[in-house]
């Protein structure tokens, strides 16, 4: 297949991590999935992916950056899976790529790092190979790769239903400041859901995003948003990793407007009023030795986007 790009040329995509502002879960279904009602917000922690042409049928990846040693650099990497799926469905067998991934989204941190990389690969390779794919085509392929991939393509603030992959944009005013406490352990999403099933065999009390949360986003009110954050998986994550309970308490005592475990954890997200409060909270958490790393981020930000 002819490429409009010179062979040495690179397509570079940046993809963001996410926080779930609300995450409500129904019980385990016979197919193993849980019905979710969630509100995602993309935040300013980014992975970068470079894609270059390779011979037809050749797919490779290198991984650098934070926790790179925890990320597989083979066909099990979600970015490679995404490139292969795209090649199968649209590449007519005549394409290949060499991917270079630079990670800063925490690995197994509940921030959809792998899904962000899959989204980045779909976008990068569709441009690299000059494929006739619409944004909707990529969303559809993304849902086959993982429930969070469509949101990682879209970014911003969105409601997710079904497995979290059926998206509707949410009106959100303003920008929110967050402090993330990265944990030095890992929590696997399936393990957290298993504990959730043990704790709540019939699912959570209500499979509904709190209306107060949507109203807070519409009015751009961080105080109201902080009071509406909810994550049904949090008790399960805390029971598997009790240290998270201490981190949540410390952040609240240090003045966070709201606090929750991000997705299935173990990253903890604190909403703060402004940059000054973000700095104060970061210093407070660090001085108590809480978290592998503390990072200040903001959201919403866009999803996977070309940067060159
Ligand atoms: P989520 O929030 O979607 O539940 P997560 O952020 O908790 O996911 P990931 O960082 O996506 O977790 O990693 C989940 C698993 O996927 C890890 O075991 C990791 O080794 C594997 N993995 C495969 N590809 C990638 C990738 N490109 N980046 C990170 N992890 C990957």
Position 93 in a domain: yes
Mean pLDDT value of segment 22-49: 95
Looking up tokens 């199968």, which residue turns up? 88
Is 108 in contact with 63 (CB distance < 8 Å)? Answer: no
Take atom 19 of ligand 1 and give the residue whose Cα is closest: 71
Whether 238 has a pLDDT exceeding 80, the answer reads yes
Residues 160 and 181 in one domain: no
Question: Helix 78-90 vs helix 113-128: angle between axes, to the nearest 10 degrees?
Answer: 40
Take atom 23 of ligand 1 and give the residue whose Cα is closest: 77
Residues 16 and 165 in one domain: yes
Position 1 in a domain: no
Catalytic residue, candidates 50, 148, 165, 183: 148
Decide which of 148, 169, 190 is a domain's last residue: 169
The pTM (predicted TM-score) of the whole model is 0.94
Q: Is 18 assigned a catalytic role?
A: yes
Domain, as residue range, for 148: 11-169
Position 2 in a domain: no
Take atom 3 of ligand 1 and give the residue whose Cα is closest: 112
Q: Is 103 assigned a catalytic role?
A: no
Q: How far apart are CA 179 and CA 76, in angstroms?
A: 31
Cα-to-centroid distance, 211 and ligand 1 (Å): 31
Decide which of 169, 192, 222 is a domain's last residue: 169
The finding on whether 114 has its CB within 6 A of some atom of ligand 1 is: yes
Average pLDDT, the chain: 94
For residue 241, the domain's CATH number is 3.30.70.890
For 220, counting Cβ atoms within 10 Å of its Cβ (0-12 exposed, 13-18 middle, 19+ buried), the class is middle
Residues 158 and 280 in one domain: no
- Residue 3 has a pLDDT of 54
Could you read off the pLDDT of 188-237 as tens digits, one per residue?
999 999 999 999 988 776 789 999 999 999 999 999 999 999 999 999 99
């Amino acid at each position: 297949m002819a490429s409009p790009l010179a062979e040495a040329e690179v397509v570079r995509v940046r993809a963001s991590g996410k926080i779930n502002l609300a995450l409500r879960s129904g019980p385990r279904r016979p197919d193993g999935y849980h019905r979710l009602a969630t509100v995602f917000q993309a935040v300013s922690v980014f992975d970068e992916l470079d894609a270059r042409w390779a011979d037809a049928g050749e797919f490779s990846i290198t991984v650098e950056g934070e926790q790179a040693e925890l990320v597989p650099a083979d066909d099990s990497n979600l970015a490679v899976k995404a490139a292969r799926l795209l090649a199968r469905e649209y590449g007519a067998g005549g394409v290949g790529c060499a991917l270079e991934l630079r990670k800063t989204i925490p690995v197994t941190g509940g921030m959809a790092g792998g899904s962000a990389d899959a989204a980045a690969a779909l976008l990068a390779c569709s441009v690299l190979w000059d494929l006739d794919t619409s944004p909707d085509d990529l969303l559809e392929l993304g849902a086959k790769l993982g429930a969070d991939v469509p949101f990682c393509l879209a970014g911003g603030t969105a409601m997710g239903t079904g497995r979290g992959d059926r998206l509707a944009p949410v009106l959100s005013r303003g920008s929110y400041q967050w402090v993330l406490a990265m944990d030095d352990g890992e929590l696997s999403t399936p393990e957290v859901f298993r504990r959730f099933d043990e704790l709540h065999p019939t699912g959570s009390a209500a499979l509904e995003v709190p209306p107060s949360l949507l109203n807070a986003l519409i009015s751009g009110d961080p105080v109201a948003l902080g009071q509406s954050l909810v994550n049904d998986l949090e008790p399960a994550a805390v029971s598997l990793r009790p240290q998270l309970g201490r981190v949540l308490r410390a952040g609240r005592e240090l003045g966070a407007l709201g606090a929750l475990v991000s997705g299935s954890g173990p990253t903890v997200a604190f909403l703060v009023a402004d940059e000054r409060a973000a700095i104060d909270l970061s210093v407070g958490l660090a001085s108590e030795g809480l978290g592998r790393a503390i990072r200040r981020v903001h959201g919403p930000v866009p999803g996977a986007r070309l940067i060159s």
